[in-house]
């Protein structure tokens, strides 16, 4: 055993033999299936391509194939990759036969290190085929109910905004002084605190910085846990970090912390307890749940701020919009308070909103996945039971036949109302996924990002400590992230905005029912 693992040649040979046998046993390619993607090397060509190019490999392949869907045979797994939005819509409608919950359940069980009991509970009626019951169905419903616009979301928003304003109060240096810091590091810390505080309430386990750090260490090691080759050795650090976070959650539940948490935290807990999960497993699943809640907001805010500040014309245009909807009051002692209202921002700052949405188009790299539960035709293509369907947002977001010749550019004006005729339909915007698995956190995330970005723009002058804005590369982006993560931080110099020193800032948000409709589903009826 030890011998096989330590000798890389033996290991490689074993992988190849197993793959070849598997490939032969699974049978080849049926001509009714989507056409095969070209591969430079047989069998392992796509594995090499994916590991070299990451999610861009799907874009490379789609540019070399005309088909709206193509087949990629990976050792041990057949995959269909969808390249056209019309076909995405067809697939999303078949949500029982082309299903997400079975994949999610496997992912959650592995990533969270669930017990055998918990795995069995989660596997029961996982896809809702026998009716509307079981942990899988209950927890989807519970999360969606708590995150949709309404009073429960408003409660989360208000505590999040207080934390954001407090973090910026601490960040802003006194008049005439400046401060140097890593932009991404600061944002990720501030957003992690604000988000988790509003989700988990005053006894938030992430109040302890070492727990938050452990979460990010776990996130960085996700791949090693997922690959699962001797995880006790290869994923030792990531697993230790995960245990630290889940222990903190156990303590939180034991002390009744969830009673003071948001409806989102309460609903999740209740659906799990009602399905007889042990407290240990509830705590374990919460570590996995934190991935959806935490990993995308900070990079989205980071790119929005960096891409706006790095173009001075754009910065000044957006500043004008934000300033115009800031209310200023001066008390009898002469101290100035400025109030920003998030709802007003959503109505009166079209360029800010367009730039934010363009950041999501430009930087998103998530892929919606489905498992084929039964052989099924989509259009004229046969999809075979057991295969995986991938719908990478990047393929659609980078398609020049949809977005025009400027598709590779960051164009902050692309999503302005008057540009509507120059862009494809809303269904081509895939940053939050779509259909049954559409991100339920999009309203909360949008509020949080707009708040951070608007307050930054309104009150701070920042410049790169290096002298120029060198945008970081994004090769190391985590597989669980749907927004590209920067490989390295940018050091910035922060000052109070010239002419705005010593101002008190408040941010308001009244009634999130007034939503900013980003995705097609928001224009139709909300579930
Ligand atoms: C800019 C920030 C965010 C982006 C781009 C984003 C994007 C996504 C995407 C692409 C999915 C999968 C959709 C699919 O495959 O069709 C997803 C799922 C989800 N997101 Fe978000 N998200 C963000 C922030 C948030 C936040 C702040 C929360 C919670 C407060 C959240 C909660 C969830 C949940 C609960 C799911 C469903 C996971 C599941 O089905 O188990 N998201 N998100
Ligand atoms: C949970 O356990 C209780 C007591 O053993 C049982 O009555 C109930 O049916 C179980 N609930 C589910 C959803 O399995
Ligand atoms: C500063 O610029 C150099 C060269 O452009 C780059 O290699 C380095 O990563 C930058 N450092 C920071 C902290 O941004
Ligand atoms: C800061 C803020 O204005 N928060 C609002 C969020 O939602 C609650 C509940 O509806 C309002 O009372 C708050 O004013």
pLDDT at 525 over 60: no
Angle (CA) 269-270-274 rounded to 5° is: 120
Q: How far is CA 135 from the centre of its chain?
A: 23
Q: 249 CA to middle of ligand 2, Å?
A: 23
pTM value is 0.90
How far, in Å, is the centroid of ligand 2 from the Cα of 276? 6
Residue 187 forms part of a structural domain: yes
Q: Which atom of ligand 2 is nearest to the CA of 276?
A: 1
Which of 110-124, 223-237, 348-362 has the lowest average pLDDT? 223-237
Angle at 244 between CA 241 and CA 248, to 5 degrees: 145
**Cα(466) to centroid(ligand 3), Å:** 6
Mean per-residue pLDDT, 12-27: 55
How does strand 98-99 pair with strand 69-74?
A: unpaired
- Asked if residue 330 is part of any domain, the answer here is yes
Q: Is the dihedral of CA 101, 104, 110, 112 positive or negative?
A: negative
**Do the domain assignments include residue 522?**
no
Measured between alpha carbons, how far is residue 179 from residues 114, 417, 451, 491 in Å? 44, 38, 21, 10
**Pocket residues for ligand 2 (CB within 6 Å)?**
275-276
CA of 466, closest atom in ligand 3: 1
- What per-residue confidence (pLDDT) applies to 43? 66
pLDDT at 513: 46
Per residue in 306-320, pLDDT tens? 999 999 999 999 999
User: Ligand 3 pocket, 129 CB below 6 A?
Assistant: no
- Residue among 433, 441, 452, 527 to mutate when testing ligand 1 (max atoms within 8 A of CB): 441
- Better-predicted residue by pLDDT, 41 or 138: 138
Residue identified by tokens 């938030």 is 204
Q: Is residue 519 part of a domain?
A: no
pLDDT the model gives residue 527: 38
Confidence check: pLDDT of 274 > 70: yes
Assigned domain for 400 exists: yes
Pocket of ligand 1, beta carbon within 6 A: 104, 143, 292-293, 296-297, 300, 366, 368, 431-434, 437-441, 444-445, 482-483
**Residue span of the structural domain in which 354 resides:** 11-121+137-511
Domain presence at residue 517 = no
Residue 20 has pLDDT above 60, yes or no: no
| Ligand 4 site, residue 161, Cβ cutoff 6 A | yes
d(CA 509, CA 325): 13
305 Cβ contact partners less than 8 Å away, ≥ 6 residues apart:
183, 187, 452, 453, 456, 462
* Ligand 4 atom 4: residue of nearest CA: 158
Query: Do 285 and 298 form a contact (C-beta atoms < 8 A)?
Result: no
pLDDT given at position 35:
93
Rounded CA gap, 215 and 111, in Å?
12
Q: Compute the average pLDDT of residues 96-112.
A: 94
Instruction: Rounding to the nearest 10 degrees, give the CA dihedral for residues 522, 524, 525, 527.
Output: -50
Are the beta carbons of 438 and 151 closer than 8 angstroms?
no
Give 458 Cα–ligand 4 centroid separation in angstroms: 22
Residue to substitute in 180, 185, 470 for testing ligand 3 pocket (most ligand atoms within 8 angstroms of CB)? 470
CA distance 58 to 360: 18
Higher pLDDT, 319 or 1: 319
Residue 346, pLDDT score: 86
| Number of other residues whose CB lies within 10 A of the CB of residue 11 | 13
| 524 is a domain residue | no
Q: In this structure, what CATH number is given to the domain that contains residue 294? A: 1.10.630.10
Question: What pLDDT, on the 0 to 100 scale, is given for residue 480?
Answer: 79
Assess whether the C-beta atom of 514 lies below 6 angstroms from ligand 4.
Answer: no
Tens of pLDDT, residues 471-493: 999 988 887 789 999 999 999 99
Of all atoms in ligand 1, which is nearest to the CA of residue 364? 5
Q: What is the Cα–Cα distance from 9 to 40, expressed in whole angstroms?
A: 22
| 203-245: pLDDT as tens digits | 999 999 999 999 999 999 998 898 877 877 889 999 999 999 9
Please report the atom of ligand 4 found closest to the CA of residue 151. 10
Q: Is residue 153 part of a domain?
A: yes
Tokens of 143: 């999360």
Judged against a pLDDT cut of 60, whether residue 401 lies above it is answered with yes
Nearest to 449 by CA among 132, 234, 188: 188
The bound ligand whose nearest atom lies closest to the alpha carbon of 271 is 2
pLDDT in tens, 156-169: 878 888 899 899 99
> Is the C-beta atom of 466 inside 6 A of ligand 3?
yes
pLDDT at 5: 40
Residue 378 has pLDDT above 60, yes or no: yes
Task: Give the nearest ligand 2 atom to 134 CA.
Answer: 13
Question: How many independent structural domains does the chain possess?
Answer: 1
> In a 10 Å sphere around its CB, with 0-12 CB exposed, 13-18 middle and 19+ buried, how is residue 456 labelled?
buried
């Amino acid at each position: 055993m030890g011998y096989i693992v330590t000798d890389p040649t033996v290991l490689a040979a074993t992988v190849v033999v197993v793959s070849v046998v598997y490939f032969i046993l699974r049978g080849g390619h049926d001509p009714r299936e989507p056409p095969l993607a070209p591969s430079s090397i047989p069998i392992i060509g796509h594995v090499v391509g994916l590991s070299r190019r990451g999610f861009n490999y799907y874009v490379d392949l789609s540019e070399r194939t005309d088909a709206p869907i193509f087949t990629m045979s990976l050792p041990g797994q057949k995959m269909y990759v969808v390249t056209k939005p019309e076909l995405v819509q067809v697939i999303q409608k078949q949500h029982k036969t082309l299903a997400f919950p079975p994949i999610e359940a496997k992912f959650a069980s592995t990533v969270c290190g669930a017990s055998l009991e918990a795995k069995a509970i989660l596997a029961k009626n996982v896809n809702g085929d026998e009716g509307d019951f079981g942990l899988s169905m209950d927890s989807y419903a519970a999360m969606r109910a708590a995150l949709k616009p309404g009073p429960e979301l408003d409660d989360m928003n208000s505590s999040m905004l207080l934390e954001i304003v407090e973090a910026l109060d601490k960040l802003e240096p006194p008049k005439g002084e400046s401060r140097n810091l890593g932009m991404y590091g600061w944002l990720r810390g501030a957003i992690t605190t604000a988000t988790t505080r509003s989700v988990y309430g005053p006894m938030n386990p992430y109040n302890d910085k070492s727990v938050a750090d452990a979460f990010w260490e776990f996130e960085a090691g996700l791949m090693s846990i997922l690959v699962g080759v001797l995880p006790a050795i290869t994923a030792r650090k990531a697993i230790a970090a995960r245990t630290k976070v889940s222990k903190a959650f156990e303590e939180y539940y034991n002390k009744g912390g969830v009673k003071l948490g948001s409806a989102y935290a309460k609903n999740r807990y209740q659906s799990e307890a009602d399905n007889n999960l042990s407290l240990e497993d509830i705590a374990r699943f919460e570590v996995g749940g934190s991935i959806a809640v935490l990993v995308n907001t900070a990079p989205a805010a980071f790119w929005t701020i960096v891409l706006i500040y790095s173009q001075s014309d754009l910065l000044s245009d957006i500043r004008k919009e934000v300033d115009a909807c800031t209310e200023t009051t001066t008390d009898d002692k002469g101290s100035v308070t400025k109030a920003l209202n998030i709802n007003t921002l959503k109505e009166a700052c079209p360029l800010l909103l367009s730039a934010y949405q363009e950041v999501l188009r430009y930087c998103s790299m998530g892929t919606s996945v489905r498992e084929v539960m039964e052989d099924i035709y989509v259009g004229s293509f046969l999809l075979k039971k057991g295969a995986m369907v991938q719908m990478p947002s990047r393929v659609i977001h980078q398609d020049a036949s949809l977005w025009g010749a400027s598709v590779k550019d960051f164009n902050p004006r692309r999503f302005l109302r008057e540009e509507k005729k120059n862009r494809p339909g809303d269904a081509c915007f895939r940053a939050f996924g779509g259909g049954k698995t559409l991100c339920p956190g999009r309203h909360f995330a949008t509020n949080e990002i707009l708040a951070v970005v608007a307050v930054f723009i309104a009150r701070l002058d920042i410049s790169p400590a290096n002298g120029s804005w060198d945008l970081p590369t994004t090769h190391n982006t985590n597989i669980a992230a749907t927004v590209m993560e920067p490989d390295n931080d940018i050091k910035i110099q922060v000052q109070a905005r010239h002419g705005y020193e010593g101002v008190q800032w408040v941010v308001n948000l009244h009634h999130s029912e007034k939503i900013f409709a980003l995705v097609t589903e928001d224009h139709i009826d909300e579930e």
